[in-house]
Amino acid sequence: MTHTTEWKVRLDLFEDDEGTTKAHVVLDTGTTALTARGSAHCHPTDTNVPEIGDELAAGRAMRDLAQQLLNIAERDVQDVSA
């Protein structure tokens, strides 16, 4: 049997007053919503390239989200196996 579903992901990026880029990601599965965050800041001696801060903050938020999904899947597998 084929299984098809659509999950929606929203990723917001913003820079605070201290120059830290922050990412906020929400995964909506239709039945569950997971939230994750990530951040990045530029070292004072480095050239400020906003795109790099965005990539780092978004990547860190997505990695956090991925870990949450893996943890949930592991618990679900254990529950089904019990």
- Per-residue pLDDT 10s for the chain (82 aa) are 899 999 999 999 999 988 899 999 999 999 999 999 999 998 889 888 999 999 999 999 999 999 999 999 999 999 999 7
Q: Give the domain 8-81 fold.
A: Double Stranded RNA Binding Domain (3.30.160)
3-state SS string for 24-70: EEEEECCCCEEEEEEEEECCCCCCCCHHHHHHHHHHHHHHHHHHHHH
What is the model's pTM?
A: 0.89
Q: What is the structure's pLDDT at 38?
A: 98
What letters, b where the CB count within 10 A reaches 16 and e where it falls short, cover 48-78? eeeeebbebbbebbbebbeeeeeeeeeeeee
Q: What is the structure's pLDDT at 30?
A: 95
Q: What is the structure's pLDDT at 70?
A: 98
Q: Is 42 exposed, middle or buried (0-12, 13-18, 19+ CB in 10 A)?
A: middle
